[in-house]
Structure 1
Amino acid sequence: MPSQPGNPPINFDSPSAAAALGLDINLDNISVGGLVGGANRSDEDDRKKRMDAVIAALWAFDTGRVSNDGLERLAVHLGLECLWEPAGTGTENDKMLVMAGRTMCVEISIKNHVVYHASLSFNEPSPRLDKHIEKASAILFKDLALGPGESQLTKKLSKFRANLERLAMLDRLSVTPGLNCHEAIAGIWESLEMLHRWDVQRLREDSTLSGKSEENLRVLALCTRHGCPLMHARGRIGLTLDYWKQYRNYRSTSVDSEEGNTWGILIDCASASNMNMVYTPVRVSDKWISPNLVKTNPTDDEIMSATGPILDWLEPPNILLPPTEENKPETGLDMAGLTASKPADVVFMATFNPPVIVTNGVAMEIYKMSAFNAPLSSSTFDNLLFPVGQGANYDPSEPRVLKCMREVPVLLGVHQGQTKPTLKLHNNTLLVDKPVYGQVVTHVPISHPKDLIMMLPLLRQYAFLSLLLANSFEQRERAPTVSEPDATGEYTSTLRTTEREFGDFMSKAKGGNHSQHLKVDIVLSAHPIPRLQLVFPFRQTAAMINIEIQLEGKVHIVSDNIFSESESEGSQSKGKGKLLTRKQFAEKLELCENIGIWVEFIKHKLE
């Protein structure tokens, strides 16, 4: 058979071929070759729709590299206008690409396919937006510029694309005149930032926190008050309301630090056209809460149900967009002039980053706060936290057991002069005796930032629970860093009780030897409130401690068989430092965020 010139058409009929490319394009067994050649397809619209699906899948598979052509293709793909202009020296290889939308513009200066400048600007002057432009421009430039060890042949567009997509989405949803979605997001930041500054000021007035820095107080407000709003932080363009942070007790931690995990809520806008629900359209305002912040004359019901300050939320006016060519009636407006005016078909959308794993009952509470009707999951809570391996036998109605080995630093002989801890192995076992159904909460539409503030206690509760379980059972290549001493070699925290003593215990060993492993059993009960029962060898018997992870991520010791019966007397410690109460032991778990370290601290204090 004579050879055929050229390459044969790519065929996606085989599922394995599509899987090899990481694609899931659902072409109903229609080959790309057939699309191009038009075989068996006469409907041009249908062919175009399927080709668009192929292109979208290829875009998801590979974003391309930073280059003149790559940047232009990306801008066109996102629906932005492109214009090349001379830049810098004006030589042929030194150009500036202008990506323009309805409300904003991104300018990129590039020479020989290497970006040396990038900036964001808005078409209309806005003090509310202008204060954030410098940070946004710096992020865009960092996404495109060559970093240490990077080459222009391998520099990917992926980070820049993610940020440009957010800008382009807000731009597409904006309606000129009448609705600027960038302004709407910046207005929410103004109100949440005012609330955050008030939280920090109240913490500063607490005499027990007098030694804390401004950043320490901001992190404390982030985790215990009304969160911390950040605009354009940690490499992401947009607004995030952070509400929980790993290593939050470190003196060197800041709200925008990338050390450890941070839990936040991304606040964007989304189209409401496909939402089968009653929604409140987006509003543009920076007055979501009164300047006084707290109500001066709360109602009796508000006082009875309050667990903290009663905030004085405001309701900004709705937006009615002017008539356009699409919605303008042929006979003109009615007597009131409102026939063609309509509210924005846009809502605020809150996306949880990372998604929060909760029980179905808690998911219903969160959805109720946002008036969102979402289907509940048929997966169990523990399976969402620790997915069952492919091919493994799993019956959601049966108890489940997980095992994991962990390294824990422990000071076995500090009272005898030992200065460096030994790395001790823990053989951890997790038992889920009564599985409950759970849900991965990814996003909810909101009508007001107060909806998010109402969710924070629940979100912190399950964020801290997931952190504790991950530190004990999540598979890792190496043991997690438990503590990082400061320049003086001391571990510091926001908890003042026996701070120095606990800091010495927490100092990390370097090159320590492993000792015999300790068996720690943990029983998880997720309904109606998350509970953990810890069982581990203690003296000549076994310790049994039942703890609750309560709202706001607070730890409460429900029952035990090792602590002192008298809270006023504290737990007997055989002379190993200050006596501690159950509440103080619970605070230690909140501090170290690690069950293994907490168990060793208890044994160190009481054995």
Structure 2
Amino acid sequence: MGTLPSGIMSGQPGNPPLNFDSPSAAAALGGLGLDIQFDNISVGGLVGGANRSDEDDRKKRMDAVIAALWAFDTARVSNDGLERLAVHLGLECLWETAGVGSENNKILIIAGRTLAVEVSIKNHVVYHASLTFNEPSPSLDKHLEKASTILFKDLALGPGESQLTKKLSKFRDNLERLATLDRLSVTPGLNCHEAIAGLWESLERLHRWDVERLREDPALSDRSDENLRVLALWSRHGCPLMHTRGRIGLTLDYWKQYHKYKSATVEGGKGRTWGVLIDCAPANSMVYTPVRVSDKWIGPNIVKTNPTDDDVISATGPILDWLEPPNILLPSTEEIKSESGLESSNGLSASKPLDIVFMATFDPPVVVTHGVAMEIYKISAFSAPILSGSTFDNLLFPVADSANYDPSEPRIMTYTQMVPVFADIHKSPKIPVLKAHRNTLVVDKPVYGQVVTQLPISHPKDLITMLPMLRQYAFLSLLLANSFKPREGLPVFSEHSKSKEGTSNTSKEGDKLSLEHLKVDIVLSAHPIPRLYLVFPFRQSTAMINLEIQLDGKIHIVYDNVFSDGESEASRSKGKGKLLSRADFAQKLEDCENIGVWVEFIKLQLE
């Protein structure tokens, strides 16, 4: 692309201001940062005036402009786009011709101190991409093919894509993760990529041990290996995955929607997955155990062979044999620097510890009460952030800025949804019908909440300790979302009500359904343990069920006036003669993950 006229950027008289929301402006910029040549462009109007003499301030403002342009994320895959992206991330670039007489067929080598990404491109279309590391490493090499496949998919033209529409955004995210670990690596002494791969090795051994123990259960003898892996993911110590769901890096998955389905797979299937992304980050002023490079974070037998009395007393499950790998110290006899700013000084008699930590990022972020957040931060030894001032329910269902909302007052919101109901569970094929439920959420005692997004860890055992709490609140958020947010594949007939009084349906179809819906009230109590108190029409009276969402996402029915103790015909499953206990009905809610479906199941079985 040719250089833009300087008047466009300099704000010269007679030229209209540039509107970055305008499609024409975006087209003129040709990718916002990747196709602009700044060499001959005057930017006086953007850096605070042409007469400004402070060059440092001018440079800061210019950097801010470039960062803003870069953030628009509209760059396309091209020769120039790839090179400028690599340079922007602090990586080196080398172009090579793929063959004699093939000037348009080139290979771009994007290199850092620890890695190289090779991209083969012809006429701005990528036909090959691969990742390599400069030093051979068995722990890294086993994941190279998977990583290369993701990078190539990020760049290659997919169905319905063209050179004009193929964006660099996904490739940029993955290359940025690789570049960050590369910058933080210190030579000699620390390869951050190897540190992450070492965590995977230990977590994977723990995961395989979980699967083997599940295989020993006679009740699970008919399960496939993949199904057992899913079971271990949500009920044991999670499932570590390298380079999954289009993301380069390590993820520890711990909860999965529809995980009870036998067709569920670890890396595929429908529904959301909750996981923890594990990277490296500068420690800055934090006081933590720094990054360690090891694949021996847990003993070869996984569990301790000779646990102490304290281990037995505090154990809530298997007593894992966690190990403490040695710290890494940088040599003090030579000047060692990294682009992250790490440095050891000459002349010191002692070695310098690393100023890098493992960083856990929750994907998606988990909304918990303030008390639970403090427990999570305590596990990681993380200094708790300042109280957000938001209530737990407002973090789950944000109140509109224009709404009159007092967090100290009870909150009521309503939502009408369609629930698939199997009117006859014995009919084949099983075809559901849709039934309207008018759900009302009542929060009579608001509590403060926190969104746990990111925190440093010193050891993988920190994350394992957190998993029961993370699953508890992941499942609670899923239950509430399935009752008060639109669901894919089902029609929407009403809107959220954020007022205390609630509102009626807004559409004509909603007014029609208002005479036919089943009214379900859900009272949320978040402290000290999350509870849901359900009220709905049942038989000739009203059903009342108080249930508790416990650690690991387990359901416990605290009180009800619906279920018997198994002695009455009222608890007998119609047509099968099987007695259903409270635990059976609680298990059903865990299975279906949907309060509306569960309510209809109860009515079908017991009315």
Instruction: Bin the TM-score by the shorter chain.
Output: 0.7 to 0.9
- Give runs of aligned pairs for residues 470-489 of structure 1, distance below 5 A: 470-476=481-487, 478-479=489-490
- Give runs of aligned pairs for residues 295-444 of structure 1, distance below 5 A: 295-323=304-332, 324-325=334-335, 332-334=347-349, 338=350, 341-373=351-383, 374-414=385-425, 419-444=430-455
Q: Determine whether 1:288 maps to 2:287.
A: no
Note if contact 2:468-2:551 (Cα within 8 Å) is conserved in structure 1: yes
CA distance in 2, matches of 1:93, 1:16: 35
Q: Determine whether 1:546 maps to 2:536.
A: no
Following TM superposition, by how much is the alpha carbon of 1:568 offset from its aligned partner in structure 2, in angstroms? 6.1
Segments of 4+ moved more than 4 angstroms: 14-22, 35-38, 326-330, 413-419, 567-571
- Match for residue 522 of structure 1? 522
Provide, for residues 343-384 of structure 1, a one-character-per-residue CA deviation record: whole Å limited to 9, x for no partner: 111000000000000000000000000011122211000000
Provide, for residues 189-214 of structure 1, a one-character-per-residue CA deviation record: whole Å limited to 9, x for no partner: 00000000000000000000111111
Aligned residues: 554
CA distance in 2, matches of 1:5, 1:162: 32
CA distance in 1, matches of 2:467, 2:557: 22
- Give runs of aligned pairs for residues 116-515 of structure 1, distance below 5 A: 116-273=127-284, 275=285, 277-323=286-332, 324-325=334-335, 332-334=347-349, 338=350, 341-373=351-383, 374-414=385-425, 419-476=430-487, 478-479=489-490
**TM-aligned CA distance change 1:416 to 1:93, over 3 Å:** closer
CA distance in 1, matches of 2:387, 2:561: 39
CA distance in 2, matches of 1:473, 1:6: 52
Q: Determine whether 1:572 maps to 2:576.
A: no
Matched residue of 1:286: which SS? coil
Bigger CA drift: 258-267 or 459-468? 258-267
- Match for residue 600 of structure 1? 600
Matched residue of 1:516: which SS? coil
Note if contact 2:11-2:45 (Cα within 8 Å) is conserved in structure 1: no
Matched residue of 1:61: which SS? coil
CA distance in 1, matches of 2:319, 2:126: 50
Note if contact 1:471-1:480 (Cα within 8 Å) is conserved in structure 2: no
Matched residue of 1:7: which SS? helix
Bigger CA drift: 38-47 or 142-151? 38-47
Q: Which amino acid aligns with 2:528?
A: P
CA distance in 2, matches of 1:184, 1:76: 25
Matched residue of 2:117: which SS? strand
**TM-aligned CA distance change 1:159 to 1:269, over 3 Å:** same
Following TM superposition, by how much is the alpha carbon of 1:90 offset from its aligned partner in structure 2, in angstroms? 5.2
CA distance in 2, matches of 1:480, 1:16: 42
Provide, for residues 440-475 of structure 1, a one-character-per-residue CA deviation record: whole Å limited to 9, x for no partner: 000110000000000000000000000000000013
**TM-aligned CA distance change 1:426 to 1:45, over 3 Å:** same
Following TM superposition, by how much is the alpha carbon of 1:87 offset from its aligned partner in structure 2, in angstroms? 1.4
Following TM superposition, by how much is the alpha carbon of 1:86 offset from its aligned partner in structure 2, in angstroms? 1.0
CA distance in 2, matches of 1:15, 1:594: 52
> Unaligned 5+ residue runs, structure 2?
27-41, 338-342, 493-511
TM-score, normalised with respect to structure 1 = 0.87
Matched residue of 1:263: which SS? strand
What is the percent sequence identity of the aligned residues?
74
Following TM superposition, by how much is the alpha carbon of 1:421 offset from its aligned partner in structure 2, in angstroms? 2.5
Bigger CA drift: 155-164 or 367-376? 367-376
CA distance in 2, matches of 1:448, 1:342: 20
Following TM superposition, by how much is the alpha carbon of 1:32 offset from its aligned partner in structure 2, in angstroms? 5.3
**TM-aligned CA distance change 1:416 to 1:257, over 3 Å:** closer
Q: 1:51 aligns with which of 51, 62, 68?
A: 62
**TM-aligned CA distance change 1:139 to 1:570, over 3 Å:** farther
CA distance in 2, matches of 1:233, 1:5: 45
Note if contact 2:76-2:167 (Cα within 8 Å) is conserved in structure 1: yes
> Unaligned 5+ residue runs, structure 1?
23-30, 482-512
Provide, for residues 527-564 of structure 1, a one-character-per-residue CA deviation record: whole Å limited to 9, x for no partner: 00000011110000110000000000000000000110
**TM-aligned CA distance change 1:561 to 1:170, over 3 Å:** same
Note if contact 1:98-1:105 (Cα within 8 Å) is conserved in structure 2: yes
- Match for residue 508 of structure 2? none
TM-score, normalised with respect to structure 2 = 0.87
Matched residue of 2:318: which SS? coil
- Give runs of aligned pairs for residues 58-137 of structure 1, distance below 5 A: 58-88=69-99, 91-137=102-148
**TM-aligned CA distance change 1:569 to 1:61, over 3 Å:** same
Note if contact 2:344-2:352 (Cα within 8 Å) is conserved in structure 1: no
Provide, for residues 392-446 of structure 1, a one-character-per-residue CA deviation record: whole Å limited to 9, x for no partner: 1111011111111111121334568895322111111111111101000001100
Note if contact 2:241-2:251 (Cα within 8 Å) is conserved in structure 1: yes
Note if contact 2:48-2:58 (Cα within 8 Å) is conserved in structure 1: no
Matched residue of 2:571: which SS? coil
The root-mean-square deviation of aligned C-alpha atoms, in Å, is 2.6
Bigger CA drift: 43-52 or 344-353? 43-52
Provide, for residues 202-247 of structure 1, a one-character-per-residue CA deviation record: whole Å limited to 9, x for no partner: 0000000111111110000000000000000111100000000001
Following TM superposition, by how much is the alpha carbon of 1:39 offset from its aligned partner in structure 2, in angstroms? 2.6
Q: Which amino acid aligns with 1:572?
A: S
Following TM superposition, by how much is the alpha carbon of 1:516 offset from its aligned partner in structure 2, in angstroms? 2.8
Note if contact 1:570-1:581 (Cα within 8 Å) is conserved in structure 2: no
Following TM superposition, by how much is the alpha carbon of 1:389 offset from its aligned partner in structure 2, in angstroms? 1.5
CA distance in 1, matches of 2:118, 2:426: 63
CA distance in 2, matches of 1:480, 1:314: 52
Matched residue of 1:408: which SS? strand
Q: Which amino acid aligns with 1:448?
A: H
**TM-aligned CA distance change 1:459 to 1:416, over 3 Å:** closer
**TM-aligned CA distance change 1:472 to 1:283, over 3 Å:** same
Following TM superposition, by how much is the alpha carbon of 1:299 offset from its aligned partner in structure 2, in angstroms? 1.6
Q: Which amino acid aligns with 1:65?
A: R
Note if contact 1:357-1:440 (Cα within 8 Å) is conserved in structure 2: yes
Provide, for residues 568-597 of structure 1, a one-character-per-residue CA deviation record: whole Å limited to 9, x for no partner: 668523744322000010000000000000
CA distance in 2, matches of 1:517, 1:109: 59
Q: Which amino acid aligns with 2:406?
A: D
Q: Which amino acid aligns with 1:124?
A: E
Q: Which amino acid aligns with 1:550?
A: Q
CA distance in 2, matches of 1:333, 1:477: 62
Matched residue of 1:34: which SS? helix
CA distance in 2, matches of 1:596, 1:88: 63
CA distance in 2, matches of 1:119, 1:533: 54
Matched residue of 2:143: which SS? helix
CA distance in 2, matches of 1:442, 1:540: 47
- Match for residue 7 of structure 1? 8
Q: Which amino acid aligns with 2:322?
A: W
CA distance in 2, matches of 1:424, 1:479: 11
Q: Which amino acid aligns with 2:443?
A: V
CA distance in 2, matches of 1:437, 1:142: 43
Bigger CA drift: 75-84 or 60-69? 60-69
Matched residue of 2:52: which SS? coil
CA distance in 1, matches of 2:569, 2:212: 33
**TM-aligned CA distance change 1:541 to 1:568, over 3 Å:** closer
Provide, for residues 304-342 of structure 1, a one-character-per-residue CA deviation record: whole Å limited to 9, x for no partner: 121100001000000001244365656x354xxx3xx21
CA distance in 2, matches of 1:10, 1:473: 49
